Structure 1
């Protein structure tokens, strides 16, 4: 049984706690934000193995409630990390002025509210496993800092890649990041014994891939994806959808979707899955 991994994200309002929780969600954590401490204790005994709790000044009346929750987690033998998110007063002021949101602590001025919160949260900051100042970092840098603090294995999946075949005659999927048209390749539809088969059948796959143009396109396409994917990951992209289209979404597109799925799945850091839209829609 996998050991539980709990992460508690706390910090100053407006510093980026929600962004940090979104990053953790992309890493596979079950995320719950803005829970009262007395309710958050419920999750200690659940079967959830990777849990991220967002707890800020709205979650307790006094900080002792927060520390009581930490003690309860420790007594349960659950491994956890406390990440504290902060930013400079100037940055937080600018963010609140931009969003026009109300600060959870009421004071005569917004700056007084920020300073008052900093004083209250100081004791929680001291207990933190790691502190991240978001004043001058981008979301992708926040992701790297979280990985460092949580000592997350660098071999975990870096991106989810969905390879989808489709037929142009039924319309283009609206959620594609990359689209490749394979209608220029030899079409098995015109081979009578292959017409009713699909790219999932070995005969169709072999027919499409026996041509030099198919082999050259496959090589060029894979080389381009091997260049693009690491750069998408570098920019913090977590999901990539690749569409492969042919006329009816039955032969050539299915063949190349299978080829991409097989080849990309060999890369350990990629989580690759495949679907055939026209099969799901019963168009073949």
Structure 2
């Protein structure tokens, strides 16, 4: 578990900075698309307020919610909760999360009132309270060499104690307590996924199968790299050279090689073994890179076939071709 660091949403000049989760749109600047300034009616929104002790992992929790498709705002003053929720609701935000803590000064009673106002407006707020034991918080702060926001000129433990007292009211109203003292980031993710994943399901693993040419360099974001250069190269066949691995004649030539089928079968078995482990460890995006010399024939055909096989396994997979057209 990391110490008190900025969340994926980020903070600038002490104010809130919003960042939308994957596939979820939200207001970033100005007026969001679809917002009717004259409208006063807003649909109900699911709202999660993440609060708790500094250094306990609130920002990590915010990043998990963002990965689950929530629109996340970090360091949001309680007074802005309802305006931000309703601004998003009048656009297309239906799942809104805010990380609120002592950086938002004088927030405890204000936050409790802001949550009551949200409920009164017809929204559905839930509070996640993230905490940890004192000795764990001290160790995290010391490893990051940062001061507690309430420490002032006193000791670190004084700041932690003051924050616990400040949070007493909201802690008692929390819908979910998460003690991160003995959790790693993957266990924290699993805890929040169980509580907030859509329809109670863990979000799917998304796979990108990326073809590339070794002569242009390895993809830096690859999790796994497959070398297709052991197959005969269609480049040396004049009738295939102008075509690509997306064309039926090249695809049939590459996949029709004696070694192609066993290679694809065995590596698909490897992926079947790896994917559950990736999911357990909280990995949501997988990049499988398939390379050949120029990234035009063999790697393209093999990448397309891997993507097809992954989709048949129930994985959201897409084939992309980094170097196609460079020759």
Instruction: Tell me how far 1:77 sits from its aligned partner.
Output: 2.3
TM-score w.r.t. the length of structure 2 is 0.80
Aligned to 2:122: 77
Instruction: Tell me the alpha carbon deviations over residues 35-86 of structure 1, each in whole angstroms, 9 at most, x when there is no partner.
Output: 1112333221113223221001222414221022212322332223211100
What is the distance in 1 between the residues matched to 2:149 and 2:136? 17
1:43 aligns with 2:84: yes
1:86-105 equivalent positions in 2, closer than 5 A = 86-105=131-150
1:96-245 equivalent positions in 2, closer than 5 A = 96-106=141-151, 108-150=154-196, 152-245=198-291
Instruction: Tell me the alpha carbon deviations over residues 69-111 of structure 1, each in whole angstroms, 9 at most, x when there is no partner.
Output: 2123223322232111000011111111221212111353221
Aligned to 2:110: 65
Query: Which deviates the most, 83-92 or 66-75?
Result: 66-75
Aligned to 2:69: 28
* Secondary structure at the counterpart of residue 58 of structure 1: helix
- 8 Å CA contact 1:81–1:150 kept in 2: the answer is no
- 8 Å CA contact 1:176–1:241 kept in 2: the answer is yes
What is the distance in 1 between the residues matched to 2:151 and 2:188? 29
Aligned CA distance change for structure 1 residues 274 and 151 (closer, same or farther; 3 Å): closer
Aligned to 2:60: 19
Query: Which deviates the most, 256-265 or 228-237?
Result: 228-237
Question: Aligned Cα RMSD in Å?
Answer: 1.9
Instruction: Tell me the alpha carbon deviations over residues 216-249 of structure 1, each in whole angstroms, 9 at most, x when there is no partner.
Output: 1010110111111211221222222111001111
* Secondary structure at the counterpart of residue 199 of structure 2: coil
Instruction: Tell me how far 1:149 sits from its aligned partner.
Output: 2.8
What is the distance in 2 between the residues matched to 1:120 and 1:69? 16
- 8 Å CA contact 2:229–2:298 kept in 1: the answer is yes
Query: Which deviates the most, 202-211 or 242-251?
Result: 202-211
TM-score w.r.t. the length of structure 1 is 0.91
Aligned CA distance change for structure 1 residues 77 and 272 (closer, same or farther; 3 Å): farther
Instruction: Tell me how far 1:12 sits from its aligned partner.
Output: 0.5
* Secondary structure at the counterpart of residue 219 of structure 2: coil
Aligned to 2:326: 283
Query: Which deviates the most, 93-102 or 36-45?
Result: 36-45
Q: Could you tell me which runs of 5 or more consecutive residues in structure 2 were left unpaired when the two chains were aligned.
A: 1-42
What is the distance in 1 between the residues matched to 2:113 and 2:305? 54
* Larger relative contact order, structure 1 or 2 (CA cutoff 8 Å, min sep 6): 1
Q: Could you tell me which runs of 5 or more consecutive residues in structure 1 were left unpaired when the two chains were aligned.
A: none
Instruction: Tell me how far 1:191 sits from its aligned partner.
Output: 2.3
Aligned CA distance change for structure 1 residues 152 and 34 (closer, same or farther; 3 Å): same
